[in-house]
Amino acid sequence: MNARKLLLPLLALGIAAATPARAADDDKVPYWASVDTDIANLRVGPGDSYRIDWVYRRPHLPVKVLRREGPWRLIEDPDGARGWMRDLLLSRQRAGRVKNGSLIEMHAAGSSASPMLWRLEPGVVGMLGACKDGWCGFDAAGHKGFVREDAVWGTGAP
């Protein structure tokens, strides 16, 4: 009986320790996120009863979360469109989109002196890696390398 009394609190403590802690910055806005589904609706207000303004068919599209209201997030996309999206449609995984303009170069390392691997067109979306000294890791559909931080929307402070 005494073993059972000791085991139950330890079991509860173990379950609590195994539960992932919520990141401290989850409640702070703005922050970067990305669309986490193949199709995501952007609404004019924070609820299913509001009209759909845009339908995104671009997984990993980077967005800036500007405000939270319950399970809804006010977001801004790379083109400046704003609206409300459910939090379940978003990921905290950082992504970036090549800014409008001309082609940019993807290099083997974070330096313009390193070999160029690819040229990326404006609008290309990819997953962001760490950014250092003006360069960011970038994975565009399996094409991995480094791009200039200032050539990608979704880098830096939101």
Of 7, 34, 19, nearest in space to 94 by CA:
34
Same domain for 86 and 110?
Answer: no
In a domain, 15, yes or no: no
Residue 5 has pLDDT above 80, yes or no: no
Is pLDDT of 16 > 90? no
Q: Tell me if 8 is assigned to some domain.
A: no
Query: Do residues 78 and 117 share a domain?
Result: no
Same domain? For 135 and 117 the reply is yes
Domain with 109 in it: what CATH number? 2.30.30.40
Domain-terminating residue out of 53, 70, 93: 93
How many domains does the structure of the chain reveal? 2
**Mean pLDDT over each residue of the chain, to the nearest integer:** 89
Q: Is the pLDDT of residue 138 over 60?
A: yes
pLDDT of residue 3: 55
